[in-house]
Amino acid sequence: MASSKKTAPSKDDPKPVSASASSDELNPKTTQYEFLGPMGAFGMVTALPVLVLFFAICCNKTGYPSSLLISDYKTYFDQLFTGDLLKAMWDPMAMLVYLGFVALQALLYVALPGDLYPGTLLRNGERLKYRMNGFTAYHSTLFIGLYFLKDTGLKPLVFVYDHWIGLAFSSVMFSYVVALFVYIKSFAPGALLALGGNTGNALYDFMIGRELNPRIGDFDIKFFTELRPGIIGWQVLNICFAAKQYLDLGYITNSMVLVQAFQTWYIVDSFWNEEAVLTTMDITTDGFGYMLSFGLYSWLPMNYTLQARYLVDFPRDLSWVEFGAILALNIIGYYIFRSSNSQKNEFRSNPSNPSVKDLKYITTSKGTKLITSSWWGMSRHINYLGDWLMSLSWCLPCGFGSVVPYFYAIYFAVLLLHRERRDDHKCRTKYGKDWEKYCEIVKYRIIPGNESDQKFATT
Ligand code: NDP
C-alpha cells in the first residue's frame, strides 16, 4: 500500500506565484543561454547521436581507435558512411526489442507499489508526488529475464551484441521522438515551464527542455526517464555482454567480473537512494527536453556499456596484482564519494550527530553553514574526486589497447569540471562575500593540494 511522506518546506523553496498570476508572470522569458546557445544546441542535437552511432558502428572485433589523434579515426569515419550501414541501422527487430523494453519499464512504473514522496515546491504552489518503486522495478526486470531464460539458457542474450547498431539507432530515434513530443506538449495551456527553457528559440528550447514536469495523467515522463529505461537498461545490456563473453570463452574473465561488479554496485546504490533524485537539478530545475531524453534513452545505456562491450571484443585476464590495484582504486573512490556526501547530508540534516558535531564551519548571512574541516576542508568538491576515481577504475580493467573504453572517465571529468564551475557560480551568487571567505579557507576546487586547481579558482 502506498504511503505519503512529507518533507518540511525549505527556506530556499521558491515563493509561489499567486493563483491569479498571468502566464507571463508564471513562465517568464529566459534571457540567458547555456551550452553556447542555439549553436551549442545544434551541435548537441546533431553531433552527440553521431558519436553514439560512431562507437556502435566502428568499434567491433575488427578494431577500436587506439588514441585520440584525428588521423587514427580516418578509417573509422570512412566506415561510417559505407554501403551496408543503413541496413544495419534500420533493424525492425532491434527497434521492437528496444520499444518492448521501454514499454515493460513503463508498465512496471505504473503497476508496482511504492511510497509516494513529495517533490520540491513549485512556482505555482504545487508539490508533485513521485512513486518510489525503482528498486522493485529493477529486481522485477531481472526476475522476468530469468524466467524467460530458464528454458533457453543464455543464448537469446547474444541478440544485444549481434544487433547493437540497430539498438543504438533505435535509442537515438526514440529519444528524438520523446523530445519532440514533450516540446509540442509544452505549448498546452497551463504548462509550467523551466526557468531556463523559455527563450523562444525553438531549437534551444527543444534541446534544453521547455516544460519542467511533463506528465500524462500521473505518469511523470521526466522522473520515469531519469532512472528506469537508461539505468536498468545499462544493467541489462551489461549482463548481455557478460553472457556473450561466457558463451564465447566458456568462462568470464576477471576483468569482466570487475566491470560488472563496479557498475552493478553503482546502479544498485542509485536505486537504493532513489528518493535522492528528487533534489537533483535534473528534477527540480531543468526542463525535460532533448538533452535529458537523449542522455537517458540513448547516451547512458549505449556509452556506459562500452567497457563490457570492449571486453567481449578483446577479453583480458588481469594479473592478481592488477586486479587488486583496480579493486583498491574503486574502494578508495567509493569511500571518498560516499563518506563525503554522507558527511554533508548528515551535517545539514542532523548537526548534533556525534559524527559531525565537531566539524568546523562558517555561518553565512543566509543562516546556512558551510563545513570547513574534514572532507570538506580538503577541497570544495572532494566528492567529485571520489566519483571520478571510481569512473577510472571502471575503465582500467580494459587495459591500454584503445582509448575508447576510457571515454567514460574522460567525459565524466569534463562533466564534473563544468558542474563545479556551475555550482561555484550558484554559491557565489547565493552567498556573496561568505563564499569568498569560504574559498579562502578551503582553497582547492576538487583535488586537494593541486596548485593549478587553486590558481584557476581565483581567476
Ligand atoms: P554537491 O553534493 O557537492 O553539492 C553542492 C552543494 O552543496 C552546493 O551548491 C551547496 O549547496 C552545498 N555545499 C557546498 N559546499 C558546502 C560545504 N562546505 N558545506 C556544506 N554544504 C556545502 O554537488 P552535486 O549535487 O553536483 O553532486 C552530488 C554527487 O553526485 C557528487 O558525488 C557527484 O560526484 C555526483 N554526480 C554524479 C553524476 C553522474 O553522472 N554520475 C552527475 C553529477 C553529480 P547549498 O545551496 O545547500 O549551500
Please identify, by atom number, the ligand 1 atom nearest to the C-alpha of residue 426: 9
**pTM of the shown model:** 0.88
**Closest Cα to atom 26, ligand 1: which residue?**
419
8 Å CB contact between 260 and 235: no
Pocket of ligand 1 (CB under 6 A): 337, 341, 344, 368, 370-371, 376, 381, 383-384, 387, 419, 423, 426-427, 430
* Residue closest by Cα to atom 46 of ligand 1: 427
Q: What is the rounded CA–CA span in Å between residue 338 and residue 17?
A: 37
| Residue-averaged pLDDT of the chain | 90
Ligand 1 centroid from CA 269, angstroms: 17
Residue-level pLDDT at 454: 56
Neighbours of 282 (CB within 10 A): 20
Ligand 1, closest atom to CA 423?
9
Any residues with CB less than 8 A from the CB of 329 and at least 6 apart, and which? 389, 392, 393, 396
For ligand 1, what atom is nearest to the CA of residue 368? 48
What are the pLDDT digits (tens) for 191-220?
Answer: 999 999 999 999 999 999 999 999 999 999
C-alpha gyration radius of the chain: 23
Tens of pLDDT along 332-345?
999 999 899 889 98
Question: What atom in ligand 1 is closest to the CA of residue 420?
Answer: 26
**Rounded-to-integer distance, Cα 228 and Cα 301, Å:** 11
pLDDT at 19: 54
Nearest of 248, 251, 245 to residue 307 by alpha carbon: 245
236 CA distance to ligand 1 centroid (A)? 29
pLDDT, tens digit, for every residue of 281-328?
A: 789 889 999 999 999 999 999 999 999 999 999 999 999 999 999 999
pLDDT of residue 63: 78
Q: What angle do CA 336, 337, 340 make, to 5 degrees?
A: 75
Task: Give me the pLDDT at residue 9, please.
Answer: 39
Closest approach atom of ligand 1 to CA 280: 25
* Ligand 1 atom with minimal separation from the 370 CA: 19
Task: Return the pLDDT at 85.
Answer: 74
Which amino acid does the sequence have at 282? D
C-alpha cell belonging to residue 384: 567529485
Residues lower than pLDDT 50 in the chain: 1-13, 455-459
Alpha carbon distance, N-terminus to C-terminus of the chain: 54
pLDDT at 459: 36
**To test ligand 1's pocket by mutation, which of 391, 423, 424, 442 has the most ligand atoms within 8 angstroms of CB?**
423
Classify the phi-psi angles of 311: left when phi > 0, otherwise alpha if psi is within -120 to 50, otherwise beta.
alpha
Distance CA 20, CA 12 (A): 23
Ligand 1, residues 370, 407, 439, 443: which to mutate, most atoms within 8 A of Cβ?
370
Q: What's residue 24's pLDDT? A: 78
